[in-house]
A and B are shown apart, each in its own frame.
Chain A
Amino acid sequence: MNKLSGRSRALRAAAGLAATAVAAMAAGCGNGSPATSGGRTTVTFDYLWTGTEAQKLQQIIAQFNASQKQIKVVGVANPDMQKQLASMSSSTGSFDISDNFGNNVGSWAAKGILTPLNGYMQSAGMSTGDFIPAAMDEVTYKGQVYSLPIAVHDFELVYNKAEFAAAGISSPPVTTDQLAADIGKLTKVGKNGQITQLGLGNPDTGTTLTTLGYVFGGTWDGPHNDAPSPQDPGDLAALNFYTKNITDKYGAANVAKFTAGWGQYGSPQDPFYTGKVAMIIDGEWQPVMISENAPHLDWGVTDIPYPANDPALKGTTQLTASTLFIPANAPNKQAAFTFLKYLTSPAAMLKFSLALGNLPARTSLLDNPAFNSIPNFSVWLQALKSPNVHTLASQPYSQQYASDLATALNSALLGSVTPANALASVASQAKSYGTP
């Protein structure tokens, strides 16, 4: 045997090994057939919930798995939305069903990320008539339903009863004028000019101010909820109300300095729980959070005050939805829909809502006595029956609009620009939405 043939054999062997390795890798990449486990179709449920919420969800998944023998759902907690998007961009996805928020539906549906559900619902004889109409508006894009709401959230005025009593206020405000007056009575400024308590806090700038925009009769997405309208007079009135009664009155720098020292939201150091803020506009998850973090807090909740000169705006609130969807690249769409239908059924939705302290997305559940166990929950529940429940549009431009609004609103609260100029800048940027 000469060296030449020996080398040649070595080369051929190496090439053969490499080819085998490549073939093995390719075989492992993607498999179109549904995965099975013990004869049952495996459905991977990749969800954003974590911690105790995830534990409660796992219990519901276990109940579904025990209730039938065709499908086995495997729940995976994954709070990273970027990872969620990355998985949905490949030809075969790593999960069959997941959750997100209603305001993303339009953008994702327009990009073909989501599986349209109308056909599946029709085949299953499933009706959406019982779902809260505003929630269904969020998950419907161009006449197709792309997600189903598993829970909804609305916002009410949560207040510290002890601080009210200390300030001599006998009842929570009903009108925006009373709210302005109460903010003044409940905001405390120390001798050195530093704020020690704010009358109205702001857990989330975007949510608080967009909700106030609706309260003042405004709309953020035009009359048909399909085009940005940041300069609507009601929106400007809301921003003016906030700046006039808080940031301009006490100094934007002072307010920013005070809020910079707040503890983490929803923790025992939350500013509302520690008495640094007397009122907040926040969602129905507060009763559960307060019971876990500030069980001795004497608190109440009421409808958000409305302008006295327009009683028709009474009961205004903003609704957001937690939604379940099937990605377009899901390997087991039919099985995933079966699980989706189960999760959004009245019985499972009731368990889910009670476990997480969220509002049910079905009108038939709004008067269910099971929710009486959650303190003050009925205020948020009954608010969903109001004709003045609004949602931000779920359109392809929604994410960019939310980002631009957040920057502009923040600038207005910092006193860098006037409210009018802040909203005008968003209107100007909105002209580019829809262009590449």
Chain B
Amino acid sequence: MRRRQLLWGLAFAAPWLIGFAVFIAWPIIASAYYSLTNFNLFQSPQFVGTANYRAMAADPVFWKSLQNTLYLTAVGVPLTLLLSLGCALVLNLPVRGQPLYRALVYLPTIVPVVVTGYLWRWLLNVQYGYVDRILGLLHLPQPDWLENPRWGTQAVLLLTLWTVGGPTVIYLASLKNVPRELYEAAKVDGAGAVARFRHITWPTISPVTLFQIVVSVIAYLQIFTQPYLLAQDHLNSSSGGPGNSMLTYSMYLFQNAFVYLKMGYASAMAWVLFLVTMVVTAIVLLTSRRWVHVGSR
């Protein structure tokens, strides 16, 4: 009976199992092997041991792409959390037109990313873009976002922060779950808004914050579409922007895999990215014990 139930269970799970094995597990195992080979996709791979990893260590473009990606992650993740939490707190206030404001904040998230990328190429143009026009009206510096290596990475950040609507919605849902009686009790005890946020709101939503951090870190470490579109010179070309300032790790991986046809090197890069992601995620999870409040803790 049990065996029959097991077989039935496996039979129903078979489509997913087969799909996982063929499209996820096998490519992962294969890429681990290819990372130890010289492989161009059109000929049989030649085993070269750790040569790809050693070449990576000596590749200045690899380090530049890693530097750009880590910068985007280190700056982008806190800014994303700050902005989304701030928006969620404001959008949680009982004001007239609240649904409209929430929709407006979320709207950029549902615009296709390619459209967003090309739109921001126009907005950030130093000659006719609206961003510098507004900065000029406020008597602020008007950077060459897309031409100056110092501002290329910041341009990518602007584009990613424009879509904080997604994390905002998640925070909004978590704010709804904070028990109101805690706020009432705190008010009775004389706690102000800041104190209520620090001692009630923040600890209660800390599990959601942990989730946001982990998801954002992974997203920033893998970022590709936005910088690719901002930096693109013309069709069928892959550029890293001025001074490779917009070249992210995933973009360089894509260049090696599909432009230079160095699949072995690209596979090695993919495994390094996986290790970096695991290490960063592990650090976040280990440190979370100190600040994430779960249940009655």
Give the interface of A toward B (CB within 8 A): 11, 79-82, 85, 88-89, 107, 111-113, 253, 256-261, 328, 399-400, 403-404, 406-407, 410-411, 414, 416, 425, 428-429, 432, 435-436
Contact = CB atoms under 8 A, between A and B. Distances in A.
30 contacts: A79-B236, A81-B236, A82-B236, A89-B42, A111-B41, A111-B42, A256-B126, A256-B147, A257-B126, A258-B127, A260-B126, A260-B127, A260-B144, A260-B146, A261-B126, A261-B127, A407-B240, A410-B242, A414-B147, A414-B149, A416-B149, A416-B242, A425-B60, A428-B60, A432-B58, A435-B55, A436-B37, A436-B38, A436-B55, A436-B262
A53 to B, nearest CB: 14
A436 B265 contact: yes
Contact of B148 (A11, A253, A399, A407): A253
Contacts of A112: 42-43
Contacts of A429: 59-61
A111 B60 contact: no
User: Which of B42, B127, B235: most chain A Cβ within 10 A?
Assistant: B42
Nearest to B35: A436
B40 interface: yes
Contacts of A404: 61
Contact of A399 (B11, B59, B144, B260): B260
Task: Report, as a range, how many residues of chain B touch the other chain.
Answer: 35 or more
Contacts of B37: 436
Interface in B97-151: 125-128, 144, 146-149
Majority DSSP secondary structure for residues of A touching B: helix
B48 interface: yes
A319 to B, nearest CB: 20
Majority DSSP secondary structure for residues of B touching A: loop
Interface of B: 11, 37-38, 40-43, 48, 51-52, 55, 58-61, 125-128, 144, 146-149, 235-236, 238-240, 242-244, 255, 258-262, 264-265
A410 B265 CA distance: 26
Contacts of B42: 88-89, 111-113, 328
A435 B128 CA distance: 44
Given A111-B40, A111-B261, A113-B42, A436 B48 contact: yes
B252 to A, nearest CB: 10
